[in-house]
Amino acid sequence: MRATRVVGPEHALLVLSVLGILLAPTAASGQTYRTFRAEQERIIARTRWKLGPLRVQPVLQLTNVGYDNNIYAQRRDTGPVSDVTASGGIEVSAYLLLRPWLIFSLVENPEYTFYFEQKTERSLNNLFAGNVRALLFNRFALTGSFETRKARRRATSEFDVRASELRTSAGGQLFYETERQTALGFAASVVRYRYEDVSVPGADLALAHTLNRTETSGSFQGYYLVFAGSQIFLNAGITDYDFEFPDSFWRNSRSHQALVGLRFPDIGPVRGSIALGYKKMTPSEASKTPFSGLIGNATVFVRFGRFAPRAAFIRDCVFSFDVANVYFVESRWSAGLSYYLNTFIRLDYDYTTGRNRYPDPVPVSVPGEGTVPMLRRDNYQTHSFGFVVRIVRSTGVGLQANYWQRDSTIYPSDRSRWFFGGYLTFEF
């Protein structure tokens, strides 16, 4: 491999510019850190269009094309609304590899969500992200990034309706990297969430006043290459949650967390990552129950012969718009299996189960007893059946049927829905 050029004094202006970007903390990312050289190799491998130092990779997206029998996730006795829906767009990633030590990245992803009858649910969503990385003195990787995402969606599993969410983030990272792709460093981020106020049948939810907030985070991270391109990683940090409106200041919180995990290569018979750790989140309101305990996020895919099993797990505390709770603890487990009948047809099945646990009692009206406090527990189940027909290379067209159900200790929260439709996939 050609040696990376060391940045000299003639690049001082560039270094100062990157350092300025670094002072704005990095947006939090669901992916683990890639070293500078690993990122270069990934860009070169995945981009097909090239014009000088500019590399471009467009990806067509088409999902959720079908029939939904309960688009607002309402109870059967309230008259659920059904509709035909579709989401589609194109994601364009552009990269400038100007020097062996400098990368500029841009992502633009517009997406339109269509509803045949419920015109108010139609929306144009968009994601725009920018990133600059510089490898200085052949060892220090500086990153500055910015992202803005506008989407009308169900932001968490607690949302029964789609609401417009504007998420903006900025941040930076400083890492020391070795030839073996070991990396140690610090990351910081500022993320702002802004919601619209939406009405739900039977209730008025002021989502903006309830959930608008700013999250400020700082963390130490370490990554070590172990075998066959896999990485062991550590992430430990602090996050402050500051809510925008005075009537939600009681939700202000601080969390401390640490995660350790293993990330598998992007290409190979085993893919995905496993992360487990501990988190403690303390609300500023002393009367509210703090959270402490296990958190985790794991998704693993395995391919051997005609079979491709997969499993996933997630556990964390998520901010709630419930009037009595700062957060709920979300736990999910899922398992699935794909079977390849031949080189052109794949059969899929996935099962997901989980629970949302609320720490503080919710006031509930009970006939004959008045209003009584009750702990809310929501149990979820999802079944998904489908098959995929390969068109060319790893691109395929799929059909699927999903059934989703939520049972709650609070009866008005019971829900069920099913969806039948198609999608485009690039993972045959």
Q: How confident is the model at residue 21 (pLDDT cuts 50, 70, 90)?
A: very low
Which pLDDT tens digit goes with each residue over 331-386? 999 999 999 999 999 999 999 999 999 999 988 877 777 788 889 999 999 999 99
**What pLDDT score was predicted for residue 14?**
34
Which pLDDT tens digit goes with each residue over 32-41? 788 999 899 9
Cα-Cα-Cα-Cα torsion 354, 356, 361, 366, nearest 10 degrees, comes to -60
Which pLDDT tens digit goes with each residue over 154-191? 888 888 778 899 999 999 999 999 988 899 999 999 99
- Count of residues making up the chain: 428
Evaluate if pTM is beyond 0.75. yes
What's at 281, amino acid-wise? M
The answer to whether the CB of 273 falls within 8 A of the CB of 32 is yes
**pLDDT above 80: residue 78:** no
**pLDDT above 90: residue 126:** yes
Please name which of 10, 189, 170 lies closest in space to residue 101, comparing C-alpha atoms.
10
The residue ranges of every structural domain in the chain are: 1-211
**pLDDT above 90: residue 131:** yes
**What pLDDT score was predicted for residue 18?**
33
SS3 174: strand
Residue 33, C-beta contacts closer than 8 angstroms, at least 6 positions apart: 173, 175, 183, 185, 221, 223, 233
User: What is the radius of gyration, based on Cα positions, of the chain?
Assistant: 23
Residue 11, C-beta contacts closer than 8 angstroms, at least 6 positions apart: none
The answer to whether the CB of 161 falls within 8 A of the CB of 198 is yes
**What pLDDT score was predicted for residue 178?**
93
Which pLDDT tens digit goes with each residue over 398-426? 999 999 999 988 877 788 999 999 999 98
